[in-house]
Structure 1
Amino acid sequence: MVLLERAMPTTLISMLAKIHGENPVVSEAKGVVPTCTCALMPKSGGKQGECKWCWRILVNREGLWFRVLASRYGLVGGRLKRGDRNGSVWWRDIASIRDGDASVLGSWFPENLSVHVGNGANTLFWLDRWVDDVPSCVRFSRLYDLSENKLATVAQMFSWGWKIGGEAWKWRRRMWDWEEEMVVECRSLLLTALLQVDTEDVWTWTPDPVEGYTVSVAYLTIIDRTPPTNNVLAALLWRKDVPMKVSVFAWRLFRHRLPSKTNLFRRGIIPSEAQLCISGCGQQESETHLFLSCTLFGHI
C-alpha cells in the first residue's frame, strides 16, 4: 500500500476523477483529491490490520488516504468524520475501532494511545487522553453530557477561554452547585497545560513508544488481555468475507492446534531436542515464535 501511495501523483488522481465523471476536490495540503478514489480503498485483513490503518491515518495527516477520506467524509474537530450508511463499510469499521466502540475489540485501540499536546489542533478536549490517564469525558462524564462543545479540540477550548467565565464552558442548562464543583476540579487540571503554538501534537503507541504501532505488538497486547470468549472468537474468525481455509487456520492458531514442534513434543511425536526452530535461530518452534519473533519467518 505504501508503494501505491507513492505511485499515485496528482495527475493520475485527476484522471480518475474525469473517468468517474466527478469534479476533483482541492486539498490545501497536497492538491487534488477526488471522492471517486474511495473506490480504491484497501480491504483489511483483520482487526489488527484495521488498527494499523487507524494508526496510519492518525499520525500521517499528509498521506494520500487521509486526504481521500477527508475529501469524502470531511473533518470535525480535526478528526475524520465516520460517515453514514452510504459510506464505505471498510471506513466505518476503521472509525468504530478508532472511536472505541467496535463490537469485538471495544476501546482497546484508544486505550493504548497517548498524545503529547503541542498546539492542540488535532487533540479532542473531551475524548482524547491528553491531560490525565483517562479522557475527560470519562473522568467528568457529567460535564461531558452537559457540554455543548463535545467535539471541540484543545486549541479551540483554549482560544475560547477555559478559565473562570471563559466561553469554553457552554452548558445545555444551568449548573447545579455540585456540578460547578466538578468544573472547578476540571479547570484545576488545566493549570499545568501549556500549549506550544509552533509544535504539532505527537501521538504515541504506549505498548511500543519507540517503533509505534505494529501488528505483531498489537497481537501480543491482545493476547495478554483477558482471554476472549467463544462469542468474540466467533465474531473474529467465522466471517462470510473470509475464505474458509483462512478461518480454519486462524481457529487452529488461537486454539494452539497447529503442528508446531512444541505441540508435536507435547503429544509425544518428537523428542525434546527436536523442538528447535527449523530456521536455525536456536529458539523453540512455537506458534508465537514462528509468526512474531522468529528472525527469519517472523518478518515474512
Structure 2
Amino acid sequence: MVERNLFTGYSVGESDPISVLHLQFADDTLLVGFRCWANVCALTVVLVMFETMSGLKVNFNKSMLVGVNIPGSWLGEAASILRCKVGKIPFLYLGLPIGSDPRRLSFCEPVLARLTNILSRWKSRFLSFGGRLILIKSVLTSLSVYALSFFKAPLGTISSIESLLINFFWGGSEDHRKISWISWKNICLRKEYGGLGVSQLREFNLALLGKWCWRMLVDREGLWFRVLAARYGVERGRLKAGGRRGSSWWREIARHGNKTHIHGIGTGLGIPELYGFGFGEGKTRPRPAPLPCLEITSIRDNGGGVGRFGRLFNLAETNSCLVVEMASLGWGASGEAWVWRRQLWVWEEEMLGECQSLLLDLLTSQDPVTLDDVKGLIWHSQVPLKVSIFAWQLLRDRLPTKANLITRCILSSEFHHCVSGCGAIESAHHLFLSCSTFSSLWSHARSWIGSSLMDSHTISYHFVQFISSAGGSRARRSFMQLIWLVCAWVISKERNHILRLTKLIASHVGQDQDIFLSVVEGEE
C-alpha cells in the first residue's frame, strides 16, 4: 500500500522528515495517516485482507477514528465507511486521558478513582497491617507505573495518592481518618534503614522518567528517537528542548535529563563510581567521569561551583582514571594516583589538600539515617508480617497506648491507668516490661528457656538482652528472637482483649466510661 502510494502516513519534521504509519501497543494497533478518502479506502481494504488472511476479526465496536483539526462531518462519514466510532481528544487509553494536559490535576483523576476503589475502607477493616502493606506495594508497582513512567505527576496528584495510601495503611478513609503514628517519609525508608520499603512516589516517578534519558544513550536508532530528532532537531549532538512549541511531555523529559547529569553507582569494592550522563553523540554507553572533576563538589553542595578544582583537573595526568583505579594507586599526596604535568605551586597544594578531604568525605561518608541492630531484628522469616510491623511500631513507641493517646489530646488524662488495674500510667515501657500482670510472661518464658534474669530500662535494650542471654549458635539466637516477638504480640493482644471486654461491659451496664473505669480499677 505504501510503496504504491495507496496510503500516505503522517510525516514528522521538515528538513529530514520521518514517516509514521502505524504503532503497536500489545494487542492494540494505531494507524496514522493524512486526511483523504484514499487513505480511508486503503484502510478498509487492509482491514478486510487482515481478517481474510489471519482468520481473526477486528472488533470495530472498540475501534475509533480520531482526528486532529478535522471537521466532525468528515470524521462521521469516514467512520461510517470504516464501521467504527468517532473518537474525540482527549480519549482514555489504559486509564489515562491521552491528549490532555498532564500538568493538570484532572489528568490523573482516573488513576485516583481506581486507587480509591482498590483501597476501599472495608478492605482496610478486614486486613491486618501486613495485608495492607502488601496491597499498597502491589498497587504502587502495577497500577500507576504506566502513568508515572510517561508523565511527570503534579505535586498535588502525588499528595492525593499518598494521602489515600496513608489513610488505607492506618485503617482510615477520606471521610474517617485515623492517627498516622509514623510519618510516611519513615515508612518509605528501606527496611535496613528503619522503614517498610514502600516506594516514594515522587522519586519513583523521576526514576521512571530517567528511563527515557537512558534510552537516548543506548537506542538512538529507535523510531521514537528519530521522531524526536525530526520534530525538535539536534544541536551539538543533543536533542533540543523545543521551547514553547514543544510538548509539555518532552520539555519535562529534557529538563529531567539536564538535572541527572551526575550519578553515583556502587561497585563491588564498595567505592562509588561517578558517571556523566548527556545526550551527546559518540559512545552509546555512559562515559566514566574523571574522579578529580569539579562536578564532584555539586554532589555534597559544598559550594565553590562547578569550576572549583578545574585547575587541578587540567594539571592532572590521570584525569581520566576511574575511582577504583585511582584508589588502587594510592590516595596520599605522594601516591601514584596524583601525577601532575608540572610541579604544583604552594596554593595549588593547599587546593589539593582540600580536594583530597572532599573526596575522602565523599567516599567514606554514610547516610545519616541508619538502622541499629534492634530494628533489624524485627524481621524474622517465621513471623507473620503483621507481627513484625507491630514490633516496628513498638520499638518506636508508636502504639496507641493510653499515654500516647493522652499526649495527642485524644484521651482525657483521667483515664491514664493501665488496663490491668495496677494503677500505673499505661505507657509502652510499663505495659511490656514493668506491669505486674503482663510482665509475668517474660518470667515464665525465661524459666522455660533457662535464661538469666534481665533488668532493662528500654524496650530496645530488653530485646537485645533477651536474644543474647541464651548465647549459643545463630539458630538459637533466631529462636530467642522468635520467642520475644511472640511474647510481645501476646501481651498486646491480651491488653486489647481486656480493653474491649471493659468497653463491652460498660455498654451493657450503661454507665459513663469514667465511672466504669474507676469501679474496675477499685475491684482489681
Identify which of structures 1 and 2 has the higher relative contact order when contacts are C-alpha pairs closer than 8 Å and 6+ apart.
1
TM-score tier after normalising by the smaller chain length: 0.3 to 0.5
Taking structure 1 as the reference length, the TM-score comes to 0.33
TM-score (norm 2): 0.22
Asked which structure has the greater CA Rg, the reply is 2
